[in-house]
Chain A
Amino acid sequence: MLSSWLGRKKLLIGLALILMMTGLLGPAWAEEVRSTRYRYGAREVSTGYYEEYEVKPILYLPGGPLMRKGIPLESAPTEPIRWRTYLTDTHLGIRDYKRHHDCTDCHPQQGRDRHTVRAGITCDQCHGREPISGINHYWSPLSPIRRHAYICAKCHEGASVSYAEYAVHEPIPAMLSTRQTFPFLFFAFWMMATVAGGTFVVFLPHTALWGIRELLIMKKDRAESESKQQD
């Protein structure tokens, strides 16, 4: 009785071990998940944010990695409404919101970038459809933790977290407000503009004066030679 029970127990343990091993090797569904992640991971060069992309982070720091690095990606006029970028519906409670048909009615500068103007990308291709979630909301496809994979990689295969830090809605570099929102761009622009402007300020009058001076000399030479011929 005992021996047959022990024999059956061994059989059960054996069966359990076999089951565990097949589990380790992974059934078809497990393979699929692994291979999807493998293919994605192989193409993508990121800091590993994609590992946690479907869950709310345990410690949710408002602002996301970009803002914590001090590189805000919106132009100054959006600054007072930054908190809205964390809402599930970013336009929640805005009066007359439904009356506007075009996003650029209220966000004119956001329609003036190379993605919109040159590539013809529409707002909802990146921001999604109504209700449009704030770009920093942890469920938004534009949330910095998954923007590179969900949005950028649609066209730029292999986009990384760093790549997604490109400011699609770039502020106007010459504006004083850009000094606060994107100082690198502001100073680079003005340094280059000073070099270019300086070169033209010196060399354009220099070139014009040179031409005028030589014309005057030629005129004088011609007059002198004519008067010599008359003599």
Chain B
Amino acid sequence: MSPNSKTRIRRFSPLQRLFHLLLILCFMTQATTGLARMYIETVWGQRLAWVFGGYTPSRTIHIYVGIFMLCIFALHVLYMLSKVNWRKFPGSLVGPDSMLPQPRDLKESIQHFGWLLGMAKAPRFERWGYWEKFDYIGVCWGMCLLGATGLLLAYPLVASRIMPGWGLNVAFWVHKIEAILAMGHVFIIHFFIAHLRPHAFPMDRAMFEGSVDLAATQHEKPDWVARLEETGKLESVLVPEAPGWRRAFHYVFGYCAVALGIFLLIVALVNSLSITW
């Protein structure tokens, strides 16, 4: 097969990949600085905080990167709104290319559970699987919740003008539990499904290269490929493999993120009984 043969389907635009890249960088910084503060009573937490200059600088970095991340999220919301076909609104919100959950997702998730247990045939997924939609909506929900509570905690004097001071106790716990949920979900569930499960291993490069392997997609998302074929769009979305050096870079970068996530998760779990909750 020549290196220029078009064996992959375009799945994400460069802008969407840039959003994801910034999200990875911000999320990892937030997780590391947040855990550094949360575990400051332990030697591990102190070492983690040392990387950022100590306990107080970790908070400063956490706040500024958090605000940067919220700005990126605001831009993403504008981008999302610009993608809605307002002439055909609200009908345009549903359909196979939409990220919004639809009745089909519920049906597919039940059938997929059946397949996992060896009791049903694998569902014929369209462009977005229910778990991918869950991940995407989860990020939006997390941004709103972590962002709102994070801003309240970052500016407590202003926050206590609009709510009683004890609201900060509540905000802190909401922030902490949502952060644990986000880190647990990304470091275990997202990483495993996208990179470590046998069919995706060693890595699903879709978000880095912007494309997915045609043969593998015909197997995993058959209804998407069938729709592209039926509408005659398949040819136009086929692209070749990325050059070797770029693929190598994607592997190194992706695995650094996976390794950091799993490291944070394991050490946080091991030390979880040594901190004051």
Interface residues in chain A, defined as those with a beta carbon under 8 Å from any beta carbon in chain B: 45, 69, 71, 73, 112-114, 117-118, 156, 158-160, 162-167, 170, 172-173, 182, 184-185, 188-189, 192-193, 195-196, 199-200, 203-204, 206-207, 209-211, 213-215, 217-218
Contacts and interface: CB of A to CB of B under 8 A. Distances in A.
A162 B116 contact: no
Contact of A164 (B40, B115, B165): B165
B8 to A, nearest CB: 21
Contacts of A69: 164
Contacts, number: 112
* Secondary structure class of chain A's binding surface, majority of residues: helix
Interface string B170-208: 100110011011001100110011001111000000000
Given A159-B157, A211-B197, 18 more contacts: A45-B157, A158-B157, A162-B161, A163-B156, A163-B165, A165-B165, A165-B166, A166-B160, A167-B166, A185-B169, A188-B170, A192-B173, A192-B177, A196-B178, A200-B185, A204-B189, A210-B116, A211-B196
A209 B169 contact: no
A73 B197 CA distance: 49
B198 A156 contact: no
A207 B169 contact: no
Contacts of A118: 40-41, 55
A210 B138 CA distance: 20
B118 interface: yes
A29 B192 CA distance: 72
B242 interface: no
Interface in B122-175: 131, 138, 156-157, 160-161, 163-170, 173-174
* Secondary structure class of chain B's binding surface, majority of residues: helix
A199 B185 contact: yes
A193 B276 contact: no
B99 to A, nearest CB: 18
B117 interface: yes
Interface of B: 40-41, 55, 113, 115-118, 131, 138, 156-157, 160-161, 163-170, 173-174, 177-178, 180-181, 184-185, 188-189, 192-193, 196-199, 276-277
B171 to A, nearest CB: 9
Contact of A218 (B41, B192, B198): B198
Contact of A210 (B164, B170, B193): B193
Given A207-B188, A207-B193, A192 B166 contact: no
A73 B166 contact: yes
A122 B185 CA distance: 38
Contacts of A192: 173-174, 177-178, 181
B197 A163 contact: no
Contacts of B55: 118
